[in-house]
Amino acid sequence: MVTFDNNGIYCAQAGIYIDPWNAVDKAIITHGHSDHARIGMGSYLAHKHSVPVLKYRLGEDIKGEGVEYGETRVLNGVKISLHPAGHIWGSAQVRLEYKGEIWVISGDYKLQHDKISQPFEPVRCHNFITESTFGLPIYRFPDITDVHTDINNWWRQNKEEGKNSVLITYALGKAQRVLNQLDDTIGTIYTHGAVDNVNKLYETTIGKLTPSQRITVETNRADIKGAMIIAPPSAMDTPWMRKLQPYKLGICSGWMQLRGARRRRGADRGFIMSDHADWEQLNTAIQETGAENIYVTHGYKSVYAKWLQETYKLRATEVETLYAGEQADDTIDIETKDGKDNESI
Amino acid sequence: MKAFSELFTRIDQTTSTNEKIDALADYFATADTADAIWCVAILSGRRPKRTVKAGELRDWCAEMSGTPVWLLEESYHIVGDLAETISLLLPANTDTKDHSLNTIIKSLIALQDSDEQTRKEFVMQAWREFSQQELFIFNKLITGSFRVGVSDKIIIKGLAKHFNIDENIVAHRLTGNWDANATTLQDLLSAENAGDDISKPYPFYLAYPLETAVEELGEVDEWQIERKYDGIRGQIIIRDKQLFVWSRGEDLMTEKFTEFQSLINHLPSGTVIDGEILPVKDGQLLPFHVMQTRIGRKNVTKKNLQDAPLAMICYDLLEDNGVDIRYMSLMERRNILDSILTAAKEKFPELPMMLSPTVECDTWEEVAKERLIAREQNCEGLMLKRKTSTYKTGRRRGEWWKWKVDPLSIDGVLIYAQRGHGRRANLYTDFTFAVWDGEELVPFTKAYSGLTDKELVEVDSWVKKHTKEKFGPVRSVTPELVFEIGFEGINPSPRHKSGVALRFPRILRWRKDKGIKDANTKEDLMDLLKINNG
């Protein structure tokens, strides 16, 4: 019922692709990150909160249709519904059912609650397509409450030392969850233009975020003192950032679990925070689906598939895709069609 | 261990040198004396002999964490550090106990001759009692070099700050072999005890590569110009009728250089000479690889001594008649050195020591010409030293410069990639390159350095998309990318398929303008071999 071809994950019966990487007629999009949502599709079906993101990134003129979680569409006999993936706000797993056979394409997901996106919902199925970005037992993410406490303490301490705190996060998804857990009694929160654009999108689509100020050409940099600045990975090593000195640099990413990854990027602090599932979460999610056939995509796919075969006796297969997962070094951050992210430099 | 772990965390959580120095100074101010000396020992690479094998750690960790060994191996390839891998896999301990750093290290040393069961029980017990960060440090103490972004310079500055002693003095007193079990930082650094260890070398003065146009150095006659020899930089110490030979890496190598034993009889006591140790036969310098065959050996045979007799080309005199003369000018030091060597040679002409000849030039143009012929002389280039310079410690700008010849280079095709370690863990950064041998690509060198972080990420992602086969941590890739490989020397090597071994290979640049057909051939390598080994 579902196959993998040169364009992406395909359901021939419904004539629809999920997160295709080449231009096709009909596409279901799990979420708005650029490795999953690409330009040029005839039509886009996504969760209703994801559609504004797609329009912002791919253009207002795309044909995008939004649906609720759990709402069922039928296409040539195939029952299609979207379910929360917990990855970022509006992210979805895609459930396809035809003649009793059920497939779930999970896109990117996590089980950790981030208080911004609707938590992951396990969906029973026969065939489950999973990512494996952090599919090794060395990835065990810490309690997220502790991470947020660490971030606030770090900010407080940097402020005492007369320094700014620059926190690197993806603009779409992670920036909003981080922002909402910052303690704004410590000081002022500033944002890079790329982050602020997505924040505005979130606020018009879903609701209020912790107040922050966008850094623009009018902003007097001398006023930015002991502040928290949220910036995307693309802002690193730019003149824009150098003007924020003196500052300490923190990075929020699952890769920060490894010292090497953090040291390579020259960060003072790595905060282990990911919108992907760690080892335990992957194993839990897969067992909860009850699926016997597991297709493992982007990440440590061969290792993780072998683990699933040996440990849970599942039929696990690795699949080549062009999804990137969480990047330690940028590239899948949100970039807009006209590249206006850096207008505020 | 908790205090040391906190120190480690403070150092690890900053990229600022000053903050690292402060963290060390704070630690020295509060730490137990027995711990503080071990802290310095470990951070400066003086770790005790290893008593537990890596394979044992891996197996015990697999057992305790319930991770299959194959999965542990895969994880290790990603992390690039066994100590860290284990600390990530073991179950977290909430109820932790504190043990002092020195007791932990002493217990580890005591495992020396114990049986496997005893070692296993000790390690596993520790694994149950430490927090994750302490676990990592504990494992690091077992597995090896403690590279945590603390250079010797930072340790010296931290000590200088806390003990309020001049950095140069700290640097000197920290050199050589001392036993963290038998001394304290107070004793090691105090003036009264400074003369105790007669083997103690002086810290080496090192040069930076020339950064400006050579003319900007001023008048030629203010500079002493020497050839830059390609051997082992060493320090020969004669004190109290005893000989000590130190390498720049602060390894005591006296036993390996039996040629120098006779110096005890010919040089005055209280003499310390800085120079380059090289194979010299009948007054001729031999290529570096001739010496390599005997450096690695435990026992030097008669044949080794005949084939690769060693001598020192003497650069500098640091101690004369037991007096530290590093404060004198280079010219003064050289004059005394010259007279000592001349006097010794009068009595003993075979003395394996010669004064480093100066290259006499009247203009910078002449200097530049001399640099270009360096390879013909089995040299790497020139050394430019200001005649008035004192002998400083460590790598310094301003008065000593090295001006090397441009490296030899060959365009090679990337054929294998392997994951790196440490900072480069999880990225494919260790590469093997090939040249054409007819229609076949034969590997000729590995290279790790030379690309920017940005290029590394780019190549890494290319490797992942162009993998042909996987062999453990190594991937073979489609031959497509061409890189210019630079190296300092080329030697015949029957062990390598290409027939050559390179000295200091590194990537000069990514030749995006070249296709694989433009890469060099094995014949090109053979030509370079002929030219450079006369």
Q: What is the number of structural domains in chain B?
A: 3
Q: Give A181-234 pLDDT, tens digit per residue.
A: 999 999 999 999 999 999 999 999 999 999 999 999 899 888 999 999 999 998
For residues B253 and B121, state if they share a domain: no
CA distance A307 to A172: 32
Task: Say whether B417 sits in a helix, a strand or coil.
Answer: strand
Range of B30's domain? Answer: 2-143
Q: Are residues A182 and A280 in the same domain?
A: no
Catalytic amino acids of B? 228
Angle between helices B152-163 and B17-30 (to 10 degrees): 50
| % chain A with pLDDT above 70 | 94
How many beta carbons lie within 10 A of that of residue A311, not counting itself? Answer: 12
Are B351 and B486 contained in the same domain?
no
Any domain includes A341: no
**A307 → closest Cβ in B14, B71, B424:** B71
Q: What is the DSSP letter of A120?
A: P
Q: Give the domain CATH number at B43.
A: 1.10.3260.10
The domain that holds B348 is classified in CATH as 3.30.470.30
Q: What is the CATH number of the domain that holds A64?
A: 3.60.15.10
Exposed e or buried b for every residue in B15-51, given b needs 16+ CB within 10 A?
Answer: eeeebbbbbbbbbbeebeebbbbbbbbbbbebbbeeb
Of B395 and A166, the structure prediction assigns the larger pLDDT to A166
Over residues B101-117, the mean pLDDT reads: 93
Within a domain: residue B148? no
Q: Does B68 touch chain A (CB under 8 A)?
A: yes
Note whether residue B187 is domain-resident.
no
Helix axes B132-143, B2-12, angle to 10 degrees: 90
Same domain? For B305 and B427 the reply is no
Domain end, chosen from B109, B143, B177, is at B143
Q: Does A340 reside within a domain?
A: no
Which residue is listed with tokens 């496997």? B116
Please check whether residue B203 is in contact with residue B57, taking contact to mean a CB–CB distance below 8 angstroms. no
> Is the same domain home to B129 and B215?
no
With CB atoms and an 8 Å threshold, state whether A263 touches B89.
Answer: no
**CATH number of A263's domain:** 3.40.50.10890
B71–A136 CB contact, under 8 Å: yes
Of B363, B380, B404, the residue at which a domain comes to its end is B404
Structural domain total, chain A: 2
One domain, residues B213 and B276: yes
Q: Which of A136, A166, A256 to mutate to test the interface with B (most CBs of B within 10 A)?
A: A136
pLDDT band of residue B400 (cuts 50, 70, 90) is very high
Same domain, residue pair A10 and A39: yes
Which CATH number characterizes residue B467's domain? 2.40.50.140
pLDDT in tens, A56-85: 999 999 999 999 999 999 999 999 999 999
In a domain, B186, yes or no: no
How far, in Å, CA of A192 to CA of A195, rounded? 5
Contact call for B88 and A138, based on CB within 8 A: yes
Tokens of B421: 């370690």
Q: Which two tokens stand for residue B482?
A: 């061409």
- Domain limit, last residue, from A220, A246, A271: A271
CA distance A257 to A250: 13
Report yes or no: A37 and A57 within 8 Å, Cβ to Cβ.
Answer: yes
Query: Which of A241, A271, A301 is at the close of a domain?
Result: A271
Q: Which domain holds residue A90?
A: 2-139+276-334
Chain B contact probe: residue of A132, A259, A307 with most B CBs at under 10 A: A259
Examine the domain organization and report whether B454 and B385 are in the same domain: no
**B421 interfacial to chain A (CB closer than 8 Å):** yes
Q: Do B223 and B81 fall into the same domain?
A: no
Residue A277 has a pLDDT of 96
Task: Examine the domain organization and report whether A220 and A199 are in the same domain.
Answer: yes
Residue-level pLDDT at B236: 96
Tell me the mean pLDDT in the region B317-339.
Answer: 96
- Over residues B280-287, mean pLDDT: 82
Over residues B62-71, the mean pLDDT reads 95
Q: Which of A217, A241, A271 is the last residue of a domain?
A: A271
Rg from Cα positions in chain B: 26
Residues from chain A that touch B473, judged by Cβ atoms under 8 A, are: none
- The pTM score is 0.77
Q: Which residues of B touch A269 (CB under 8 A)?
A: 13
Which pLDDT value is given to residue A264? 77
The CA distance from B304 to the nearest CA of chain A, in Å, is: 42
The answer on pLDDT for A339 being more than 60 is no
Residue B144: burial class (beta carbons within 10 Å; 0-12, 13-18, 19+): middle
Q: Mind giving me the DSSP string for A311-325?
A: HH--EEEE-------
pLDDT at B348 over 70: yes
Per-residue pLDDT, B169: 84
**B235-261 per-position pLDDT tens digit:** 999 998 889 999 887 778 888 888 898
Please give the pLDDT value at position A281.
97
Assess whether pLDDT exceeds 90 at residue B121.
yes
Assess if residue B33 is contained within a domain: yes
Give pLDDT tens digits for A88-124.
999 999 999 999 999 999 999 999 999 999 999 999 9
Report the distance separating Cα A67 and Cα A28, nearest Å.
11
Residue B203 CA to residue B176 CA, distance in Å, equals 9
The secondary structure of B221-288 as a DSSP string is: GGEEEEEEE-SEEEEEEEETTEEEEEETTS-B-GGG-GGGGGHHHHS-SSEEEEEEEEEEETTEEPPH
Local structure of B482: helix, strand or coil = strand
For residue B172, give Cα distances in angstroms to A131, B158, B162, B195, B328: 55, 15, 17, 11, 17
Tell me the residue type at B485: I
B398 and B430 both lie in a single domain: no
Tell me what pLDDT residue B231 has: 87
Among residues B358, B375, B404, which one ends one of the domains? B404
Whether A92 and A205 map to the same domain: the answer is no
Q: Are residues A167 and A242 in the same domain?
A: yes
Q: Is residue A189 part of a domain?
A: yes
Q: Does B89 touch chain A (CB under 8 A)?
A: yes
